[in-house]
Amino acid sequence: METLRIFDTTLRDGEQSPGATLSQPEKLEIARYLEGMGVDIIEAGFPISSEGDFESVRIIASEITKSTVCGLARCAPKDIERAGEAVKVAAKGRIHVFCATSKIHREHKLRKGKEEILKLSVRSIQQALEYTKDVEFSPEDASRTELEFLEEIVHAAIEAGATTINLPDTVGYATPKTYGEIFSHLLKKLPIIKEKNVILSAHCHDDLGLAVANSLSAVENGARQVECTINGIGERAGNAALEEIVMILKTRSDVYKIGSKIDSTKIFPASRMVSTLTGLAVQRNKAIVGQNAFAHESGIHQDGILKFRETYEIMDPASVGLPTNVLVMGKHSGRAAFRDRVTVLGYKMTDEQIESAFVQFKALADKKKEVFDEDIEAIIDQSLDMSASLWELAGLQVVAGSNTTPTATVTLRDSTGETVTDASVGDGPVDAIYSAIQRLTKIEVKLVDYRIRAITKGKDAQGEVQIELEHSGKRIRGRGRSTDILEASALAYLASINRLRSLNQREMLVHPHAAV
């Protein structure tokens, strides 16, 4: 099977997304991961754009050895010199030079004629060859360039020594049919492409939502390199998404009959790394790496997944680095998924008990977007009368402020009516509250998530605190509401502790030697 070269431009075009600036260490961290994934070419930056970009490209070039490290340059001597200096230390270095060729760019941006652009491009390629034998040339806005001129400049670029010709759909204007035809046309008209083993490359933007479709059309018509980014980030609407290109080729190998060297199990971690470091969130319904990509809420779909995964999944979640799919419990979930979740949670219930709990579950699901495992446990524990000896907040006093050690005094009441009080200090008022509750309940947990939101308006608005605790590998969520956010924090923590205790009581019945 043929192999498609994956040219990742997350660190160059991807970083051009508004608000996606990366530091030098962050760029290096991403570059290391891309190399580990099997990316063929890493476009590390635009060295002339800033001293920081130059240093980032140079440092990446000095460390990355398996992937080709590429620096971008305009057809300007200083650009090429700077790119050459940055990549000359690379084990495998490339300079990517570009020059606009479309009529609109020639007339309104460059204000140069065709002949001048031809000569400029040839000179620039020749200069780049002084630093490396691996030179890529891009006629910018190729998808809007007249085919005759495109033939002429591509031929000249190859004769000048370019080893890769990239045909960018710079503004996302192309459609799959017309974009693919550019590649097939050039391959037919220019035998020199095959004679000199020149690679044709696709670089597509997503302004019309066609970046991936256009890239695949290019592959069908002879392209053997695709330029893409993790999560599809990039200028304006972004670039073709690496994860989509790779998984389409893998999943539909019957159609494309071409693969890549990418280790697909590293895709999901790469997505999360790039999202975290750039601050650009991945939309929930994003293909391959979105939160909902392998999540199922429909009762019909959940029933099918439980019987045979392939009924509603064309990819194994593990193939992109996810351990499992997710059956999202919500108002569309059916009895089969609910029964399965009850079993997974460790409950053994009769059909009557499950039916009763399912009715309560559906009532709750109509009120909230997603029903968590802890919600289901609370429903079942209540129906099985396992909620005895749970704590209530009977009193709370907090002292905090400048030059004062935050201190919380907490009073709890158990189901017998007995109250206990203790005080503790902390790094802040919430930490002090949680420390005091731990001392009173003698249940040690780790706080892994803490969120606050206003649920009403005005000065007396109610605040809601949502937290997630971890204990012995279990994740427990809790929620508290109050006009006093510190009280809401305490209530959320107690809700989590109570759910943990109910869960423990259930486990003690099933596994008598278990302990919190």
Handedness of CA 381, 382, 386, 392 (dihedral sign): positive
141 is in an annotated binding site: no
| Contacts of residue 225, Cβ cutoff 8 Å, sequence gap at least 6 | 4, 5, 6, 7, 40, 41, 164, 166, 199, 200, 201, 202
Q: How many CA atoms lie within 13 A of 53 on its CB side?
A: 21
Extended beta strands in 150-245, E state? 164-169, 199-204, 225-228
Is 239 marked as a binding-site residue?
yes
Q: Count of alpha carbons within 13 Å of 442, Cβ hemisphere only?
A: 3
506: part of which helix (H) or strand (E)? helix 485-510
Backbone φ and ψ for 413, nearest 5 degrees, come out as -120, 130
Read off φ and ψ for residue 325, nearest 5 degrees: -80, 180
CA distance 418 to 411: 10
CA angle 4, 159, 116 (to 5 degrees): 110
Residue 247 CB burial class (10 angstroms; 0-12, 13-18, ≥19): buried
Tell whether residue 203 is among the known ligand binding residues. yes
Residue type, 469: L
Q: Helical H runs in 4-144?
A: 24-37, 51-63, 77-87, 103-105, 114-128
**Element (H or E) spanning 435, and its range?**
helix 429-441
**Would you list which residues are annotated within the binding site for Mn(2+)?**
13, 203, 205, 239
**Would you list which residues are annotated within the binding site?**
13, 203, 205, 239
